[in-house]
Amino acid sequence: MCTYSTEKKNIDGSAKGPGGSWFQVREATVYFDHPVHAMATHTLNIDLADPTKGPSARVAVELTAASARSLIDAVQAALASVPPELSS
């Protein structure tokens, strides 16, 4: 079942896109739905994009729920190990 629940956040970062070129990412879209490529019935889908540069300035990730939770744990652990003055 699709939830159609989508979260959009403004972000500040960079991503490596098609052809190996880097571009700024300004927006993250996160939703749980049917994947396009991953071999699962539903995945947590994350799109990192710079909407000002059109659809080619986008990186997409499709993760199983278990993999997404593992990634969240890894991000939390990595950030927790950084001195506060470096992670503002």
CB-CB neighbours of 58 under 10 Å: 19
**Total count of residues recorded for the chain:** 88
Is residue 75 predicted with pLDDT exceeding 90? yes
Query: Is 88 within the bounds of a domain?
Result: no
In a domain, 87, yes or no: no
Average pLDDT over residues 56-77: 96
Q: Does the pLDDT at position 2 exceed 90? A: no
What pLDDT sits at residue 66? 97
The predicted structure's pLDDT at residue 1: 66
Total number of domains in the chain: 1
Contact 61, 17 (CB under 8 A): no
CA pair distance 69, 63, nearest whole angstrom: 9
Q: What is the residue range of 10's domain? A: 6-82
Cβ count near 49 (within 10 Å):
23
| 44-58 pLDDT per residue, tens | 999 999 999 998 899
Helices (H) and strands (E) in the chain, counts: 1, 4
Judged by average pLDDT, the poorest of 7-11, 31-35, 46-50, 64-68 is 31-35
Domain annotation covers residue 52: yes
